[in-house]
A and B are shown apart, each in its own frame.
Chain A
Amino acid sequence: MQTIFSIGVDALAYGMVLFVISIGLSVTMGLMRVVNLAHGAFAMIGGYIASYAARDLGLAYALAVLLAVAGTILIAIPIERFLYRRIYGQPELTQVLMTIGITFCVIGIANYVFGPTLKTIPTPDALREPVSLGFRTVSAHRLFVIGCGAAVALGLWYFIERTAFGVKLRAAVDNAAMAAALGVRTEIVYAVSFAVAVGLAAFGGVVGAELLPIEPYYALRYMVTFLVVVSVGGAGSIPGALAACLLLGAIDTTGRYLMPEFGEFFFYLAVIAIVWLFPRGLAGRAK
């Protein structure tokens, strides 16, 4: 019973981390129709910045998170301006090549600057203590991660459904040409969405660092995980992405608990099975 409960909490936390990191990818893919393989690299950059700020500079956790998000966005702006804009509307193969090239570069540079070892992000004491729920105790960190995921989901939902920017965003996702004709400045929508996506990735990379440890091959190791969330959940769909993340989190965590010796085998098998069953995504509208 305790095991099932632990698996449940861990799976939920893992799913939420996946959600925070991948939702930006989902929105930008729905918006810009770019197959972006480098999204995980931005989460990794966030993790490295936070680790440097909190561990090496001794800054407070909250400040490290903020610095990570801001720093990652700052790094991403020139990359978007000079590299991504060249591949909007290009064939899929071109987009794959460009974004995998970016990923390789980021991995190589991270390996050079920070070395091949795992980087930890020291968390505040409050997050390290177990919390009693009355009938069970859970790690405060897991609760924090789950809370972050829920907050991001709600915040995004509000942002997209209830704000003027959200209206423009939805219009551009539906039909960019039409939105542009109606006076929506799509390049601004693109730039803002890209920044938000990258910022969320960095945020997810930091708060999820205990579940998805920061090391140079992070960007490659979890590439398929983030991509499968989008292809299963459907590009641009928040509920779809949430459902996909919780499903994948459950599969991965259960596999690790019950059959650790098989590593990721069952996870990849599940990925193939899910995409095989839903080649157009759970909602049936993935591009």
Chain B
Amino acid sequence: MALTTNSGAASLTGGRLTRDAIGVLAILAVAVLGYFLFPNNLALLTRITAIALLVLSLDLVTGYCGVATLGHAALFGAGAYGAGIAAAHFGITDPIAMLAAGILAGALAGLVSGAVVLRAHGLPQLVLSIAIIHLAHEAANKASGWTGGSDGLAGITPDALLGHWQFDLWGRTAYVFGIVLLVLAFVILRQIVRSPFGMLCRGIRQDPVRVRAMGGSVHGTLVKMYAISGAVAGAGGALNAISTQVVGLDSLSFTLSAEALVMLVLGGTGSLYGALIGTAAFMWFEDVVSAANPFHWLTIVGALLIAVVLFAPKGLYGSLAAVFERRGRKAP
């Protein structure tokens, strides 16, 4: 009995690995396609990649752990300023070292904002998350000696990547760097969400009382996840700083936090694929719409949100997956 189930388990684990491989191939395929279809728009594609890291990071906290937050851009901004300040003030211009600085700053920001946000539940928790992003924004604005304030932090000139590839004007190096980063993050996060730790997080989202009755630590686990989430968002921020060579206050804004949440929900919470699809769809949509009529962008985001809540509460990926699941059940 145990033997047969175990071989089943092994083949299932194999199945999951195949699915991960397909996911990685899909990301790479889309990335290559984007490279050849929009060779003049690589900066936008890199920006999408950076934001995708932010949305993946938000998914860890909101989708997997059930913590609703409107202040997640604080982690992204910490990564961006971490990498930017390292380069502009400390002369750390190696892109890998800048990335490390961003990841570290993001993880620290995650640890701090996690500890604060997780202090309360429900509405007070939401209030804390909003207050954090405003506070971070005000602090960055005030500390203009370090951050450049509202003019933005300039003077970031990253060295050649691995001493070989210069960050070129067309943004090719930055794009490839970003895609490699995204694939790496995706593979690591896929592993984490199906590990025992990831299972514990899902358990906490569904019933924290049950987790405590199993001897599990709810608060400690969530803070840990927040730090991981911060590292991922920080990587996204660092990528943005490296590719655009400037860090603005908008990377620490409430709007970015809210938009990240919109992207996540648009794609579908609790699934890394949903986060990626939501980001790509939203950013593409934003590019098209704001090129046509920048004035109405906020109205359209709002309408989009209302539409998702009313008509596709599981998001694009979640709704599609549900359709396929239903078909798959009918078929055999």
Contacts and interface: CB of A to CB of B under 8 A. Distances in A.
Nearest to B300: A108
A35 B122 CA distance: 9
A92 B169 CA distance: 45
A182 interface: no
A98 B306 contact: yes
Given A100-B258, A111-B298, A268 B135 contact: yes
B296 interface: yes
B302 A275 contact: no
Interface stretch (B35-43, B123-131, B154-162, B231-239): B123-131
B68 A93 contact: yes
A269 B132 CA distance: 8
A29 interface: yes
A227 interface: yes
B70 A96 contact: yes
B313 interface: yes
A55 to B, nearest CB: 23
Nearest to A38: B302
Given A269-B135, A279-B121, A231 B305 contact: no
A276 B129 CA distance: 12
A97 B299 contact: no
A260 to B, nearest CB: 12
A264 interface: yes
A86 interface: yes
Interface in A265-281: 265, 268-269, 271-272, 275-276, 279-281
B254 A287 contact: no
Given A86-B309, A100-B305, A105-B303, A268 B124 contact: no
B306 A101 contact: yes
A97 B302 contact: no
Residue of B261, B262, B269, B299 ringed by the most chain A CB atoms within 10 A: B299
Nearest to A94: B309
A146 to B, nearest CB: 26
B27 interface: no
B134 interface: yes
Contacts of A263: 138, 141-142
A15 to B, nearest CB: 18
B260 interface: no
A177 interface: no
B295 interface: yes
Contacts, number: 142
Given A101-B302, A265-B139, A268-B135, A35 B121 contact: no
Interface in A58-102: 83, 86-87, 92-94, 96-98, 100-102
Contacts of A105: 298-299, 302-303, 306
A117 to B, nearest CB: 14
Contact of A109 (B127, B299, B301): B299
Contacts of A287: 122-123
B308 interface: yes
A220 interface: yes
Contacts of B309: 86-87, 94, 97-98, 101
A182 B142 CA distance: 57
Contact of A102 (B121, B124, B302, B313): B302
B116 interface: yes
Interface in B90-149: 116, 119-124, 126-128, 130-132, 134-135, 138-139, 141-142
B111 to A, nearest CB: 15
Nearest to A265: B138
Contacts of A230: 123
A188 B89 CA distance: 62
Contact of B68 (A83, A96, A109): A96
A99 to B, nearest CB: 9
A287 to B, nearest CB: 6
Contacts of A111: 295, 298
Contacts of B308: 97
B305 A228 contact: no
B179 interface: no
Contact of B119 (A235, A264, A276): A276
Across chains A and B, which 9 residue pairs bring their CB atoms closest together, nearest first?
Answer: A108-B299, A104-B302, A101-B305, A105-B302, A279-B120, A108-B298, A268-B135, A231-B124, A101-B306
8 contacts: A97-B309, A102-B302, A104-B301, A105-B299, A108-B302, A230-B123, A268-B138, A275-B124
Interface of A: 29, 35, 83, 86-87, 92-94, 96-98, 100-109, 111-112, 220, 223-224, 227-228, 230-232, 235, 261-265, 268-269, 271-272, 275-276, 279-281, 286-287
Given A100-B258, A102-B302, 15 more contacts: A29-B123, A35-B126, A86-B310, A93-B269, A96-B261, A101-B301, A101-B306, A102-B306, A104-B301, A220-B255, A223-B130, A231-B124, A265-B135, A275-B128, A279-B120
